[in-house]
Amino acid sequence: MDLSSSMEQILSLVNSYIPNLIGAMAVLILGWLVAHLTSKLFIATCRKFKVGEKISRLIGADETKRVAEFEVAAGQVLFFILMLFVLVGFFQSLGLSLLNEPINRLLATVFEYAPRLVAPIVLLTLAWIIASALRFLILRLSKQAKLDEKIGEQVEERDLAKDLPVSTAFAETVYWLVFLLFLPAVLDALALKGLIEPVNAMVHKFLGFLPNVFAAIVIFAIGWFVARVVKKIVVNLLSSAGANRLSDKLGLKALLGDQQLSEVAGMVVYILIIIPVLISSLNSLKLEAITQPASAMLNTFLQAIPAVFAAILVLFISYVVGRVIADLVSKFLQSVGFDNLLSKLGISIRPDANHKKPSEVMGVVALIAVLLFAGIESLNLIGFQSLAEILSQFTVFAGQVAFGLVIIGLGFYIANIVAKVVASSSAPQAKFLSGLARTAVLILGFAMGLKQMGIADEIVTITFGLVLGALAIATGIAFGLGGKDSASDLVKELLSKFK
């Protein structure tokens, strides 16, 4: 009896709850269908009217890269909002009021906060209108004034205006600057107190720093323009005065390469003007942590310019004088028959038009010597004493090597003369003796030359002594073995006299 009554109670409860469950499921299914269809209809409508592309243009993004597929994202947001209402109806149909309370509070908060979005939307719309108008105005004026083409001509890069248009960059900067100025008001309208203070501080600092940036840009632009104009004036004046022809006559084409002398001088003047301009621009920024070391570096470079210019002038004059001396040395040596020196020394070289003559080589050596001395003086002028000392030591060593080569050359010359004299004598084995004499003189010449060069003095001295000692011993042994019979007769004769 108790069991049957319990079952009846359960069945009555189930029968009374089934309609609520069926109704709740119907609400959930129909609500899901309505939310899904509504979101799809919303997405299709947005795509039909190209809302995503318009918003992409609004925020300055590329139309081909629509920001996060605005239509899909907005449709999903709408779907979840509608599903919240569906869940409220579903739980209410089931009589689960406890589950409805958090959802109701969430919806109440959303709809309570929704009116606050009106003011930010109005402010953002106003900011967009002003920013778009300014951007359009800047682009239109820049196009009419052909600003990009003129700047491209000035910087000598015609593709620059196409790859990175200055007008577009400036217009985009102004566009986003307007939004930055409206940002504090938008955050205030949203009542985001935690973000208002840091954003206001950032905007105030930026606005306070903006005049410094503007002043730096103006100073650099004016200085750059003046430097470009002066550079062109210098290049044209020097070109018309014949500086390029003079540099070709002085043989500076190999030194300058594809650059003309007038262009190099114009670039020097350009650098001399642009460095003080950079210093003034950096100082106007008033960023001590950045501008002080940069300005100090530029000031140091600017103070070193006179010494650098003097060093370059010394090298230039020395190069011109060295070229003259090289020509004089080459012509003088050629006139005295220096080109036949190698053949006189017994060194045969096949004549080749691509190789320089010995007289021309000596001219180049004279030019290098002049430039070495000029390099030492130039390094001293710019304050590089250590490098000047190293170059001075190298110059001394090069002089020793050159003098040693002269001694070796004289050794070749004297060895040939001695060999000819011995070979022309009537002594037996004259040819062998001439070769021996030539070898001995060459060894002596090489020893003296290497000693003059300072290359392993002790080794050269010991080697030379050993060679001479070996020759003396060999001569003594040869004489002793060859004259032993005569020496024996002489000794016997002396002994017989004593008896």
Domain segments of the chain: what residues? Answer: 384-482
* pLDDT per residue of the chain (499 residues) written in tens, 0 to 9: 456 666 666 666 656 667 777 777 888 889 899 888 998 898 888 788 777 776 666 655 555 445 446 778 788 888 888 887 888 777 777 777 666 677 777 777 767 766 777 788 888 888 888 888 888 898 888 888 777 676 666 555 444 445 557 778 888 888 888 888 888 888 877 777 777 778 778 878 877 778 888 888 888 888 888 888 888 888 888 888 777 777 666 666 666 667 777 788 888 888 888 888 887 887 887 777 766 777 777 777 777 777 877 888 888 888 888 888 888 888 888 887 777 766 666 565 555 555 677 788 888 888 888 888 888 888 888 888 888 888 888 888 888 888 888 888 888 878 778 777 777 766 666 677 777 777 877 777 777 877 777 765 666 666 666 666 666 665 555 555 555 565 566 556 666 755 5
Distance CA 154, CA 156 (A): 5
Distance CA 168, CA 143 (A): 10
Distance CA 14, CA 21 (A): 10
Instruction: Determine how many CB atoms are found less than 10 A away from the CB of residue 401.
Output: 16
**What does the pLDDT read at residue 33?**
92
Q: Is 411 exposed, middle or buried (0-12, 13-18, 19+ CB in 10 A)?
A: buried
The two tokens of residue 370 are 């002049």
**What does the pLDDT read at residue 161?**
45
Q: Is 242 helix (H, G, I), strand (E, B) or coil?
A: coil
- Of 421, 423, 416, 413, the C-alpha closest to 438 is 416
- Of 279, 269, 256, the C-alpha closest to 228 is 269
- Of 273, 281, 282, the C-alpha closest to 305 is 273
Helices (H) and strands (E) in the chain, counts: 19, 0
Say if residues 367 and 323 touch (Cβ distance below 8 Å).
Answer: yes
- Of 13, 32, 21, 26, the C-alpha closest to 95 is 21
The angle, 0 to 180 degrees and rounded to 10, between the axes of the packed helices 288-335 and 261-285 is 160
Distance CA 419, CA 435 (A): 6
Task: Annotate 192-231 with DSSP letters as a single string.
Answer: -HHHHHHHHHHHHHHHHHHHHHHHHHHHHHHHHHHHHHHH
Distance CA 330, CA 336 (A): 10
The two tokens of residue 444 are 């002596």
Instruction: Determine how many CB atoms are found less than 10 A away from the CB of residue 102.
Output: 9
Say if residues 151 and 228 touch (Cβ distance below 8 Å).
Answer: no
**What does the pLDDT read at residue 331?**
86
**What does the pLDDT read at residue 477?**
57
Instruction: Determine how many CB atoms are found less than 10 A away from the CB of residue 488.
Output: 10
Q: Residue 208: CB partners within 8 Å, gap ≥ 6?
A: none
- Of 263, 257, 268, the C-alpha closest to 244 is 263
Say if residues 295 and 285 touch (Cβ distance below 8 Å).
Answer: no
The two tokens of residue 101 are 């309370």
Q: Residue 209: CB partners within 8 Å, gap ≥ 6?
A: none
Instruction: Determine how many CB atoms are found less than 10 A away from the CB of residue 148.
Output: 19
The two tokens of residue 92 are 């209410």
**What does the pLDDT read at residue 413?**
79
The two tokens of residue 183 are 């940002």
Say if residues 209 and 287 touch (Cβ distance below 8 Å).
Answer: no
